[in-house]
Structures are given as structure tokens and as C-alpha cells.
Structure 1
């Protein structure tokens, strides 16, 4: 990489760093290309030399967020550990990440951004995090009575994302874990437990144990 390329990449990283600061302070609506340009000592339009538009900047922040989350979850997995321990480890890593960077969590899992359509490669990044979660799935214990239409949809979903090596019941378990853990986390990160007197960490751990018992 020559000096010009290094400068370009350094500037791009600086733009994203400032955008994340804006996100943490004011939410998605607070990400301002003009304000970023002012911080860097250039005009707002000059930022478009590095990102085609504001949506392109958001796309990179989203992809970076998913990859960062996936790195965290993958690092938590011990392939030699029993399934229950893998589930606890990944669930703990998920919550730790969400609580540490709530603005990044809400960028990925909060309210959809009006008018924004995520490109396909951000879905690929999101799939890394889901794959890490599915890696904790226990062995399939056998037949189930779950409605056939759901399992048909799970098969299609698994095939699209490359998870078709898992059984439908394992895919169902993974989607259940994803839905229920994010349900608790989204409420916690948004501060919805503040008036309940409940410790969201205890509630989250209880949910993890209930999901582990899902197979019994």
C-alpha cells in the first residue's frame, strides 16, 4: 500500500471513528457528514471522496459491527466443551458485547433505519454471528411435533445461509435462542428494566438456562 492509499485508509477509519462517537451520543439520526467534515477540517462534501453517501458510511458501520460481534462470539467457543457450556459462553459474550457498546448493538438490532436498505454483504456479515451461535447447538435428540410449515421455512433459511448441515430441530433451536436472547438484550440496552427492580443480568442468565433445557 503506497502513501496515498495509506492516507485514504487512515481518513476512512477516522471518519468511521467520528461517526461512531456521534452514534453513541445522539443515535443514528445524529450521524452527520457535515459535522464529520468539520471535525476533520474539511467540507462535508469532501467526505464523499471516501464514502459515496451517508448510507455507504452506515453500511460500513453495520458490517464492522456484525464482524466485531462475530469475532467476539467465535472467540468464546471452545469446540471441546459440552454444548451447554458452549451456549453459556456464547450467550455471555453476546451480552458483554451489547452492554459494552450499546450504540453499536442498537445499530444492528434496534429500530430499522427509515429508507435504508442493507446491501447483501452486510447480511453475510450478520450470518457470521448467527453461525457462531448455531455452533453451540446440541445433537438432535430425535423427532418433534413442531408444525411442519415452520420446519419447511427453517430448511429454506438454513439452505440460504449455508446452515443446511444442521437438522431442522437444531435450526429451530438456533432461531429460538437468537429471538429470546435478543428480546431480553434489546429491552436491557434500551433501559426498559430500569423501573422494574429486576437485575437484567439475572433475567438473561435465567433465559439462557431455559434455552439449554429446551432440549429436555
Structure 2
């Protein structure tokens, strides 16, 4: 059965919401989170302040939508890589490169979700699920690994996390199989969290301009870090 056609009013509302978000992203790119102002957006669009609040309940509501969109697009970037190769090391590099490519192309959106928290702002509860969607493909890579002795304490803590948190266990199983044995679950989570730490350390410094004037390229540094991780998990 064909999807029910949207009414002109629904299409108009969707279009206005998209234009408001586009204007907010422009403000974000120009001046960071603090530059996002609903009154200025309303003026640019020829709307009254109260009219704008028919589309978003407030600034936090608008920021929540931008955060959801950013996580969703980052997840799409890495999901396009997932399963592209049977070589775990090559897949790890491809996933990280895809995420870095998204972040470098849209640094304002990267910093919105991974930069300094906005004072007084609480992210929507579903943000956690979207963040996990970005990291999910990495779990599959590391589930095939075997951590070296130096990483056993990390794997042990991750294994304990899986045991006590059913939501985390379900998320890991979604990407590693219906019932991964304890070692695979702990190893998968350990590798993913370590990659996340390395990835955001390098990408965060790059997009915020901290590497400017230094004698290396961020992608060269990241590639070396990923190879060290791959060696540590015997990928």
C-alpha cells in the first residue's frame, strides 16, 4: 500500500523546520553553539518570535534536533564501510577514516556533539542510542581480536560492564552476534572504547586547529595509532 500523502500543511511545517535547522547550522558554523539564537533565525526567515516556537519549543529543543541529525549522519558515514572487507585491520582504518572525513568536512557539527558541553543543556535521552550507532561497526571488528596481556585489565572491566548492564550487552550482541562469549564481548567493547578515545583525541585536536604549525598530518598520526591498536588486538 502506498504511503499516505502528506498534507500541504504538513509539508509546509516540515519545510520550515528544515529551514530553521539550516539557519541554526549556519550560525553554529559562524560562531559556535553560543551563536545559535532563535530570535535572529526568526528575523532572517521573516517570522515572529512566537511563530518560530510553533516549530521548536526552544533553543534546547532545536539543539537537540541538530545533535540527533549529526549523530545520524556520522553513523551513516561509518555504516557505509561496515562489512566492506573481511580484513579487520583494513576495516578498522576504513571506519576511522570515514568518521574523520565526516568530522573534518563539518567541524561545527563534530564539535556540537564532541566538543565542550553546553552549560545547562541536557542532551535528549535518545542521544545515547545514536552515539552507539556510530560505534557499533567497531564492535564487530574487535570481536574477532585477541587482546594482548597489557590490555587484560581493560577487557576485564568491559566484560564486567557487559555482565551488569543489559542494555550494553544487547548493543554489543547486536553487532557481534546473538550470544557472544564473555571474552568476545569484553574484547569487542575494549577495542571500541580504546578506538573511540584515540579517534576523538586526534580528530578533536585536528578540527579545533591544535595541530596547526606542527610537522605532521593528522591522518598520518591516526593511522599509526590505529595500527598500534590493531597490533594490540592481533587483528
Structure 1 gap segments, 5+ residues each = none
**Which of residues 112, 115, 133 in structure 2 aligns to 1:110?**
115
| Pairing of 1:42-121 with structure 2 (within 5 A) | 42-121=47-126
CA distance in 1: counterparts of 2:125 and 2:231, whole angstroms: 35
Q: Higher mean Cα deviation, 114-123 or 96-105?
A: 114-123
2:164 is the counterpart of 1:146: no
CA distance in 1: counterparts of 2:41 and 2:191, whole angstroms: 43
Secondary structure in 2 matching 1:77: coil
Matched residues, number: 216
**Which of residues 156, 162, 169 in structure 1 aligns to 2:187?**
169
Secondary structure in 2 matching 1:198: coil
Structure 2 gap segments, 5+ residues each = 1-5, 174-179
TM-score under structure 1 length normalisation: 0.92
CA distance in 2: counterparts of 1:175 and 1:157, whole angstroms: 16
CA distance in 2: counterparts of 1:150 and 1:197, whole angstroms: 36
| Pairing of 1:20-31 with structure 2 (within 5 A) | 20-31=25-36
| Pairing of 1:129-208 with structure 2 (within 5 A) | 129-141=134-146, 144=149, 145-146=152-153, 148-149=156-157, 151-153=159-161, 155-156=163-164, 159-160=167-168, 162-164=171-173, 165=180, 166-208=184-226
TM-score under structure 2 length normalisation: 0.85
- Deviation at residue 153 of structure 1 after TM alignment: 2.9
Over the residues paired in the alignment, what is the CA RMSD in angstroms? 2.0
